[in-house]
Amino acid sequence: MVTRYKITTLTEFIIQRQSEYPHAKGALTRLLNDIATAAKIVNREINAAGLVDILGAAGQDNIQGEAQKKLDVFANEMFITALKGGGECCAIASEENEKVISFKNEFSELGKYVIAIDPLDGSSNIDANVSIGTIFSIYRRKSEHGGGTQEDLLQPGINLVAAGYIIYGSSTMLVYTTGKGVNGFTLDPSVGIFCLSHPDMKFPEKANIYSINEGNYIYFPDGVKKYIKHCQENDPESYRPYTSRYIGSLVSDFHRNLIKGGVFLYPGTAKNPNGKLRLLYECNPIAYIAEQAGGKASDGFRRILEIQPETLHQRSPFFTGPRWMVEKVEEYMREFSPEERKS
């Protein structure tokens, strides 16, 4: 008997999912397609980066005072162009722009959605040919008409409609959720189509990786220091000692931990009490995916998705992975670093 394999493309998949919402008019479907199209173009540029002379700083700093790379600039412009032209989105908050970009034109003013995006995360790794990513989150706007506003974007993660990331790695994948599980699609570069390759992704039950920039150890809160010791103790029943893996590229570290089972930690430190990662376009979308994959995401004390953002670029300590691993981190934080707790 001949075995038949059905290839499901990303476009087919999101259209199938749309039919589960009888009142949906296809706006979210079109928005996700716009993101996928921009991602393919960004992917093409990243793949060509070693060939053409595009590497190196673009000569300007982003608003966090970090040197921007040319590919950051390119990716930012690409996603903005695709989303503005698509007409479903009325405002974007991007890691690369200080203020909200509000679309006031005939295409987008009526768009129902706003997007927070990190167009190229982990970009300090580009020169070393290490996997990098795009992280996006989609909210329904709060304002009723006109261009989208900052208030439309300052929503807690529990209001997310969809979130996802693209990982530009040994293969390029788009992973996303609309709140009904997490699905991963691998780009077939020969035809330029994302194909369903990782349906219904879940953290594996057996997990034994911890990912943290241990070079900052002396600055970590005591709870995190004690947790690291816990990871290194011998207890085969709980798969310890764990393996340490850290790329320094959030999407890549998270993606590996999702597939292989592991916890990611980026704590606050004495110098930077809120850590490094940005709540709106790094922590929230990854937290939503983590929860949908059966995991958890916390700042050590609070559920990430319940934090009310005050500013666009605010940072948060970030711990995410399988539920039981994150709960262990929280236990250590409560016991050894109670002074870190925020209101």
| List of residues contacting Mg ion (CB under 5 A) | 118, 121
Q: Does 257 interact with ligand AHM (rule: CB under 6 A)?
A: no
Nearer to Mg ion, 127 or 233 (CB): 127
Minimum CB–partner distance for residue 71 and Mg ion (Å): 13
Give the count of alpha carbons within 13 A of 200, CB side only: 0
Nearer to ligand AHM, 29 or 43 (CB): 43
CA angle 184, 252, 304 (to 5 degrees): 85
Minimum CB–partner distance for residue 248 and Mg ion (Å): 11
* Beta-carbon count within 10 A of 293 CB: 21
Residue 79 to residue 243: CA distance in whole angstroms: 36
Minimum CB–partner distance for residue 247 and ligand AHM (Å): 8
Residue 160 to residue 179: CA distance in whole angstroms: 8
123 binds, among Mg ion, ligand AHM, none (CB under 5 to 8 A by kind): ligand AHM
Nearer to ligand AHM, 303 or 313 (CB): 313
Nearer to Mg ion, 120 or 231 (CB): 120
Six-digit token pair at 8? 């499901």
The stretch among 1-9, 119-127, 143-151, 308-316 that binds ligand AHM (CB under 6 A) is: 119-127
Q: Does 114 interact with ligand AHM (rule: CB under 6 A)?
A: no
Strands 193-198 and 243-244: unpaired
* 248-273 burial code (b ≥16 CB/10 A, e <16): ebbbbbbbbbbeebbbbbbbbbeeee
Selected binder of ligand AHM within 8, 9, 197, 213 (CB under 6 A): 213
Selected binder of ligand AHM within 38, 39, 78, 250 (CB under 6 A): 250
Nearer to ligand AHM, 13 or 254 (CB): 254
Residue 256 to residue 333: CA distance in whole angstroms: 25
Minimum CB–partner distance for residue 62 and ligand AHM (Å): 8
Residue 5 to residue 217: CA distance in whole angstroms: 49
Nearer to ligand AHM, 141 or 296 (CB): 296
137 binds, among ligand AHM, Mg ion, none (CB under 5 to 8 A by kind): none
Minimum CB–partner distance for residue 251 and ligand AHM (Å): 7
Residue 167 to residue 132: CA distance in whole angstroms: 6
DSSP count for the chain of H helices, then E strands: 8, 15
Instruction: Name the percent of the chain in helix, strand, coil, to the closest 5.
Output: 35, 25, 40
What does the binding site for ligand AHM look like in residue numbers (CB under 6 A)?
66, 95, 118, 121-124, 213, 248-250, 253, 266, 276
